[in-house]
Amino acid sequence: MPSEHSTHPLARRITDYGQFAYPVADNIDTYLGILYEGKLYETLCAGYPGREIVLNLTHAYGLISHEIFWTENDTYKEALDALPVLADHIAETELSLGDLYHVSEIVENFYDWDPDGHGPTHLTRLNQTIISLTTLFDRPAYRDAIYDALKDKSRSEFSELISMANWFYGEDEFDLFFSFAEVQPVEALDSAHWLIGMSDPQRETFITWARDHMPSGLSLSEGARTQDYDEIVTQILDRVIWQEEHILKAAQDRLDFTVWGLCSANKFMAANAAYLLEDLPVSQWPEGSQAIIAKLYEEMEPNWTSFKSKGGKGHYTTHKERLGSLLEKANQPS
């Protein structure tokens, strides 16, 4: 049965607006228009507006706060003015783990400074509000709930729990994500940011674990691209190749994962593995790799794009161009 607040404009979810699959940021102005018609600031200032409204707005601010914090836009003024009042209401509302995560998004978005360390002037006047939201995580009940939930690696929101534990309690992100990966590798590797900045022992731990999932006895003989990898191996290969600068520090690791990738029946997986050879002299390429690269070159359409990343930067090119460059390099005189 809908509550008395469910039809209130402030209880309408931001995800109900705009077109499917479009970024929430594209719909912020439209959504704020709905909130302003519902007298956002006035309603919050009048007193506690009801649990449903408070939690819905907490979710909405989690999604829009980065945009409204870091952009000078007069449209955002009322939403920014209303946040301190909303924070007071959040503090008197019982929050679930999901609600706490939305609060954490607001906090993290506030501290997501621009490269110069400066931002809009309204950030300064919101500082105390953000501090008040941060102190919610000091409450023993919320802290205990997060730590208790972290014991269950089957939880669908485990990444969100890790984010909160890392941000508010200083828990090591790699250790938490790796413990998650041991139970749910596909889900844990869905985002690979935790593989950036690993220590050497952490990298060795991850590589050893990843190798245990890979097939043995593969070589790059003719017709080697026969491996229809399962979801776990595919996810591991994809993440290792994508984050190769952070993971494949050892030469043998780079060569082994190149071979595993080149053996994939998926031409895009194989091509991405081939790009692990771009910075290696041809003399260090695995035997048989040139023939596979030549075959991949034939299979690629001229307009199929590839993103070439290096040192945190990158640009778009085509698979045809990258594979062609590898072949040119292979055919150059020693």
Provide the 8-state DSSP code for 217.
S
Quote the pLDDT of residue 117: 57
Quote the pLDDT of residue 86: 98
* % of the chain beyond a pLDDT of 90: 78
pLDDT in tens, 118-129: 788 889 899 999
| Domain definitions of the chain by residue range | 9-138, 213-331
Collapsed DSSP state (helix, strand, coil) of residue 20: coil
In this prediction, residues 15-24 reach a mean pLDDT of 65
Q: Report the helix count and the strand count for the chain, using DSSP H and E.
A: 18, 2
Q: Report whether 257 contacts 206 (CB < 8 A).
A: no
Per-residue pLDDT band for 218 (boundaries 50, 70, 90) equals confident
Quickly list DSSP for 92-138. TS---HHHHHHHHHHHHHHT---TTS---THHHHTHHHHHHHHGGGG
Nearest Cα to 275, choosing from 313, 309, 301?
309
Please name the residue that has the structure tokens 């970024």: 23
Q: Measured between alpha carbons, how far is 49 from 11 in angstroms, rounded to an integer?
A: 10
Predicted TM-score (pTM) of this structure: 0.84
Q: What is the 3-state secondary structure (H, E, C) of 177-205?
A: HHHHHCCCHHHHCCCCHHHCCCCHHHHHH
pLDDT in tens, 84-121: 999 999 999 999 999 999 999 999 999 987 656 578 88
3-state helix, strand, coil in the chain (%, to 5): 65, 5, 30
Mean pLDDT of the chain: 91
Phi-psi region of 135 (alpha: psi -120 to 50; beta: other; left: phi over 0): alpha
In this prediction, residues 278-289 reach a mean pLDDT of 94
Quote the pLDDT of residue 85: 98
Collapsed DSSP state (helix, strand, coil) of residue 298: helix
pLDDT in tens, 129-188: 999 999 999 999 999 999 999 999 988 899 999 999 999 999 999 999 999 999 999 999
In this prediction, residues 291-305 reach a mean pLDDT of 96
> What spatial distance separates the first Cα and last Cα of the chain, rounded to whole Å?
76
Count of beta carbons in the 10 Å neighbourhood of residue 237 = 24
In this prediction, residues 32-61 reach a mean pLDDT of 96
Residue 2 predicted with pLDDT over 50 = no
Per-residue pLDDT band for 262 (boundaries 50, 70, 90) equals very high
